[in-house]
Amino acid sequence: MIVFAVAAVSNRKMLRSVIYLLFVLVGVAGIFFLIDYNFLAAVQLTVYAGGIIVLMIFSVLLVHHIELELELAKPLKQVIAGITCLIGIGVVLSTIYTHDFNVVENANTTTTADIGSKMLSYEAGGFVLPFEVVSILLLAAMVGAIIIAKGKKLVNKTED
């Protein structure tokens, strides 16, 4: 997964880096399967691998010629960004390894029914309000995306 992530951000051909991103996402879905969150893995596969990757491939094909090579950032900028990221990795990893996690041994299997009933419960600890807010957000994002992508034509029509 790390190799594919590096390839996704360093490859100079757009389409290939999108495909490497697809491999990273499928690897994440594999982790979800391994820890028995099957619903989450299915969501990951359908939303990311099915939806987002297809959208990205469409946009790459609309925007670029396939063989177009991207220009790279200046070497100085790359070095500075690399050093910043290495420092960040060092800080976070040292924090993680000095912290003593209280790991609970378990083999619980979470079914989709558990997730559904907890998510739609309106008692304490239920998640029905954020659920509805997210549904409104998705609707607004869809309408907004259509308006933006169609922008000019709609404006012209209303002017006529």
Contact status: 52 vs another protein (CB under 8 A): yes
Q: Using a CB cutoff of 8 Å and minimum separation of 24, what contacts does 132-140 make?
A: none
CB of 37 to another protein, least distance (A): 6
Q: What CA–CA distance (Å, rounded) separates 95 from 101?
A: 11
Of the two residues 55 and 66, which places its CB atom closer to another protein in the complex? 55
Tell me if 154 contacts another protein by CB under 8 A.
no
Long-range contacts of 144-147 (CB under 8 A, 24+ apart): none
Rounded CA gap, 106 and 31, in Å?
A: 17
Interaction residues for another protein, span 77-116 (CB under 8 A):
77-78, 81-82, 84-86, 88-89, 92-93, 96-97, 101-108, 110, 114-115
Q: Does 136 interact with another protein (rule: CB under 8 A)? A: no
What angle, 0 to 180 degrees and rounded to 10, lies between the N-to-C axes of helices 14-34 and 2-10? 160
Q: Does 130 bind another protein (CB under 8 A)?
A: yes
Per CB under 8 A, the list member of 72, 121, 132, 154 interacting with another protein is: 72
Phi-psi region of 125 (alpha: psi -120 to 50; beta: other; left: phi over 0): left
Question: What mask of x and - would describe binding to another protein in positions 32 to 51, judged by CB under 8 A?
Answer: x-xxxx-xx--xx--xx--x
Angle in degrees, 0-180, between the axes of helices 53-63 and 14-34, rounded to the nearest 10: 180
Task: Tell me which of 66, 121, 132, 145 binds another protein, using CB under 8 A.
Answer: 145
- Which member of 5, 38, 42, 49 binds another protein (CB under 8 A)? 5
